[in-house]
Amino acid sequence: MYISTVTGTVTPQECAAIAHASAIRNRRDDVTGLLLFNSRRFLQVLEGPKDAVENIFARIHGDSRHRGVVKLREGMIDTREFGRWAMAYDDPLRPSDSLKDVVAALLASAGPSTRAHFLGSAELHRPTA
Ligand SMILES: Cc1cc2nc3c(=O)[nH]c(=O)nc-3n(C[C@H](O)[C@H](O)[C@H](O)COP(=O)(O)O)c2cc1C
């Protein structure tokens, strides 16, 4: 799991396109996960075989669309936490409550400012009606 900061402007549509292309590429390597974007920062979780995750992370790390990549969590797990999503993208226009709950649990191990940043933006994106 890492966070990074967008360089320039990436629209929610462009982020959805990144998530879609990533899901297709990652599936070949049995890698799943989650990509969140709040117009300024990315948060991504990659789950799968260690070598595959490391190769994909190295590619992502060098991508000029973002900078300041900081790994928040890395380690071996028994069961995928995001298996169901296969690189879900949290659409700010259609927020998913179950996705928010899993993200909140994941962010429990992140720093307080990172947590506040993502959970705060998730709240802002909730429809008021
Ligand atoms: C925030 C962000 C997340 C990305 N996530 C993935 C990913 O999970 N899998 C992937 O293959 N590429 C991902 N990419 C795209 C890669 O950085 C890279 O452009 C893509 O893998 C193609 O690499 P190549 O041109 O070396 O083949 C992501 C890019 C960004 C900006």
Please tell me the residue having the least CA distance from ligand 1 atom 25.
59
Q: Which tens digits make up the pLDDT trace of 113-124?
A: 666 666 655 444
**pLDDT value of position 91:** 62
Contact 114, 107 (CB under 8 A): yes
Distance CA 86, CA 31 (A): 8
* pLDDT, average across residues 13-36: 87
Please report, for the domain that includes residue 110, its CATH number: 3.30.70.100
Mind listing the pLDDT tens digit for each residue in 42-96?
889 899 999 999 999 999 999 999 999 999 889 998 888 776 665 656 566 666 6
Sheet with 41-47: list strands edge to edge: 66-71, 2-6, 41-47, 32-37, 88-89
Q: What residues line ligand 1, using a CB cutoff of 6 Å?
A: 18, 22, 25-26, 35, 42, 44, 56, 59-60, 63, 65-66
pLDDT at residue 68, rounded to an integer? 95
What is the domain extent for residue 13? 2-125
Distance CA 81, CA 58 (A): 22
Phi-psi region of 33 (alpha: psi -120 to 50; beta: other; left: phi over 0): left
Domain count, the chain: 1
Distances (CA, A) of 58 to 13, 46, 67, 79, 129: 24, 12, 13, 23, 42
Q: Rounded to the nearest whole angstrom, what is the distance from the C-alpha of residue 120 to the centroid of ligand 1?
A: 26
